[in-house]
Chains A and B, each alone.
Chain A
C-alpha cells in the first residue's frame, strides 16, 4: 500500500524528526515539535454548539419516543382504558406557542441586525408567550381536576399528565434560557455573536414542534 506524505514546506524533516523521537529525555517543553505547529488561539467553533444542541435534542426525542411507545403498548393491551377528552384550552395554548416561535424569529432578525433593544423586546415577548403557554397548560390540568380526572384516575389520564408535564418542564428550561439571553441582550447584539441565540432558537422551535406532535398523539391515541 503506497503511502507518501509530503512534509509541509516550512519544515525540513531531518531537523524536526530528530527532535521528535526524543521520548526518553524528560518532558522537553512543548514536546520539542517546533515549527510544524500553528499557534493561533484555540477556539471552539460555533458549529460545536449547534451539534451539541442537536445531540441534546436527540436525547429528548428518545425520552418522548419511549413515552410514546409506552402509551401505544399500554393502550393496546388495556381493558381498562377510558379515553380522556382533551380540554379545549390546549388548542389556544398551541396557538400561543406557535406565536412564540414567530416572535423568537423576529428577535433573531433583530440581533442579526445588531439591534439590541428590539432583540430584547422580542425575547421578553417570546418568554411571556412561553409562560402564557405554561399557564394555559396548568389551566387544562385544573379543568381535568374539576372533572375528577387526576394522574392515577385512568391510564389514559396518566399519560396526559405525564406527557404535558414532561413537555412543560423542558419548556420552562427554554424560558430560563430566553430570559438569560434577554439579560445579556445588548452585549450579544453588539458582539455579533449569534450562536447563543441560534441554539436557543433550535431548542425553542423543537419544543414547539414537540408540542404539536404530542397534541396530535394525545388527540389520536388518548
Chain B
C-alpha cells in the first residue's frame, strides 16, 4: 500500500524524558488520554455549575455557602443574582457542548483507538495531533479566565445571540470582557478541532492496514471518520461567525447589529442595518452538525459494545454505516428547525421541518438495528453493556421528543421551553454521556492495563440511570405546561409560581443532587482502578477488533513492529463452526459457509 517514495517518517522514537513522554507527547495514546482528562475536568466543572443552577431555581433566595468566593459581584452575600445564574448557565453549556461532548467521544477515545483499530502505529500527523490538543487546552484556559474578569462570564447562552452578545457591556452585566474572551476561546477551540479533524480523516483514509477494507471497519471508526468530516465543515463556519461577532463588538462593524438600537435609554450610534438572523443562520449551520458530532461517536461505541456483549454481529452493519452517513449529510440540511419562530420565512421553515423529519429515519434505523443486535443474542450484563443498553433507552426517549420539535405548528407551543431542554439533555447530556461511560468501562483495561471495579460500576449505573430519568423526563411535562427556559427564577410569572410546577422542579433538583453525588463513585472507581485495579489481560471481553490483539496497555508503537493483516469483519461473534465464540479480525481462521 505504500507508494514508491514513502519514507519511514513517523516511526517516531519512544521518548524517555517526562516532558516529551507525558506533556508534549506525539503518541496518539497519550494525546487521547489528555483529551479524556480535559473532558473529565470540564464535565465535573460543568456538573457543579448545573447543581448550582438547580439549587437556585428551587430556592432562588437561598444563601449558597461560599458562592461569594466564586464571584463577589455575582453572589453578594452568597445569594445568586439573576445575571450570575445566566452566566453560570452559559458556562455550563459551553463547557459541556464544546469541552466535553466534542472532545471525549471523538478526540479522547477516537485518538486512542482509531489508529489501533485500523492497524496503524499512530495518526498520520502526530505533531499536528499534539498541537490540536494544546490548542484545545488553550481554548479551555481562555474560557475559564472569564470567571475571573471584572464583568464575569458572558450570560448570552452558548448560542450567544446578538444583539445581546454584540453590543458590549451596554447590554448589561455579563456582556463585557467575558463575552470577548468567550468568543476568542471558541475560536481557538475551532482551530484545534479543525486540525484534529483533518488528522482523523487522513488517517482513516490512508493508514488502514492490509485487509482493512472500509466495510470491515469497526463502527467506532466509521463514527469517528464521519464525525471528523462534520467537524471540519461546521467548525470552520463557527469560526467565521465568531470573527464577525467579535468585530461587531470591538471593531465597530454592523454584521449583526441593526440601526437605531436603544438600550436603557441609551441610543447606540454607529451600527446600521445588521441582521441578528444572520448570526442565527451561521451559528445553527454549525450548531446542528455539532450535536451530531456529539452523538455519532456514542452511536459507534454503542454498536461496538452491544455486539461484543451480545456475542452477535451487529445487525445490519451496512445499514448502520449508511445511516451514519445519511445522518452526517442531513445534519447540514436541518439547521433552520432552531429558527421556526425566529422571523425567518415560514416557507423556509417548512422546508427545514421536512428535512428534520427525514433525519429521524436513519436514527430510527439505527435503533431498530441495535434491538436486532440484541435479538437472539447471549447478553452479558457487564457495566459497559449496562451503559450501552441505557444509551438505547435514553436515545429512544430523547430522539422521539425531537419529532415534536421538528414540526413548526407543534414547536410554536414548545419552543424555548423545558420540552426542548429535556430533549437535548436526554440525547446529549445523558445518552452521549452513557456512551462515554460505556466506552470507559470497556476500554479502561486496554488504556490502563487494569480492570475497573464492576461492583462500583454497577452501583454507579443503577443510580445514574434512574437519576437521569428523574431529572430529565419531567422537563417534558413542564415544557408542555409552558415552562420557559433560561429563567433564573420562576417567581415572577404566575403560571410558573405554583406548587404544581415548582414541586416538579424540586423533584428534579433533588434527583440532580443525588445523581451528581453518585458520579463521585465513578470518579473514585476510575482513579482507584488506575493504580490498584487488578491487572488486565489482553482481551478480557473476548472482543474481535484489533485493539484486543495488542497488550494492555499497548506498547509505544501499538503492534510491536508488526503489521496486522485483516481477514474478517469487525463483529464475527458466535460464528458457527469456529473454535471460540469470537473470531479476531486478524485471525487467519477460515470460516465455514453460514
Contacts and interface: CB of A to CB of B under 8 A. Distances in A.
B240 A4 contact: no
A8 B7 contact: no
B240 A66 contact: yes
Given A27-B538, A74-B278, A193-B7, A155 B588 contact: no
B282 interface: yes
B562 A30 contact: yes
A155 B253 contact: yes
A8 B588 contact: yes
Given A21-B580, A25-B538, A55-B232, 19 more contacts: A4-B593, A24-B540, A29-B560, A30-B561, A31-B551, A31-B560, A33-B562, A38-B562, A41-B11, A42-B8, A43-B8, A45-B6, A48-B124, A59-B194, A67-B240, A73-B275, A79-B273, A152-B252, A192-B5
A74 B552 contact: no
A74 B590 contact: no
A175 B128 CA distance: 19
Interface of B: 1-3, 5-11, 120-121, 124-125, 128, 194, 197-199, 201-203, 205-207, 210, 232-237, 239-241, 243-244, 247, 251-255, 259, 270, 272-275, 278, 281-282, 285, 535, 537-540, 542, 548-552, 557, 559-565, 567-568, 579-580, 584, 586-594
Q: Which of A8, A30, A43 has the most CB of B within 10 A?
A: A43
A51 B205 contact: yes
A59 B236 contact: yes
B201 A55 contact: yes
B2 A21 contact: no
A216 interface: no
A15 B146 CA distance: 62
Top 8 closest A-B pairs, CB basis? A152-B252, A23-B539, A62-B236, A66-B240, A27-B551, A37-B562, A30-B560, A7-B588
B232 to A, nearest CB: 5
Contacts of B235: 59
A13 interface: yes
Contact of A162 (B202, B243, B274, B535): B243
Interface string A166-201: 100000000000000000000000001111000000
Given A59-B236, A74-B275, A194-B5, A66 B254 contact: no
A220 interface: no
Chain A, interface residues (CB within 8 Å), range: 35 or more
Given A66-B240, A74-B278, A152-B253, A33 B549 contact: yes
A43 B210 CA distance: 13
A48 B542 contact: no
Contacts of B538: 22-23, 25-28, 31
Contacts of A77: 273, 275, 278
10 contacts: A3-B593, A7-B567, A13-B590, A23-B539, A51-B201, A55-B201, A62-B236, A80-B272, A81-B273, A158-B247
Given A158-B253, A195-B5, A8 B565 contact: yes
B332 to A, nearest CB: 11
Contact of B206 (A1, A20, A45): A45
A4 B255 contact: no
Given A11-B588, A23-B540, A42-B557, A2 B274 contact: no
A193 B5 CA distance: 7
Contacts of A43: 2, 6-11
Interface in A106-160: 151-152, 155, 158
A48 B206 contact: yes
Contacts of B539: 23-24
Contacts of A2: 593-594
Contacts of B548: 23
Contact of B121 (A16, A42, A162, A166): A42
Contacts of A155: 253-255, 272-274
Contacts of A8: 565, 588
A25 B536 CA distance: 10
Contacts of B551: 27-31
Contacts of A79: 272-273
A38 B563 CA distance: 5
Interface string A194-221: 1100000000000000000000000000
Contacts of A44: 6, 9-10, 124, 206-207
A5 B594 contact: no
A28 B537 CA distance: 9
B234 to A, nearest CB: 8
Contacts of A6: 590
A93 B548 CA distance: 57
Given A2-B593, A42-B10, A63-B236, A26 B197 contact: no
Contacts of A23: 537-540, 542, 548
Contacts of A55: 197-198, 201-202, 232
A102 B281 CA distance: 39
Contacts of A46: 3, 5-6
Nearest to A34: B562
Given A46-B6, A55-B202, A80 B259 contact: yes
A16 B254 CA distance: 69
Contacts of B7: 43, 193
A5 B590 contact: yes
Contacts of B207: 44-45, 48
Nearest to A3: B591
Nearest to B536: A27
A13 B589 contact: yes
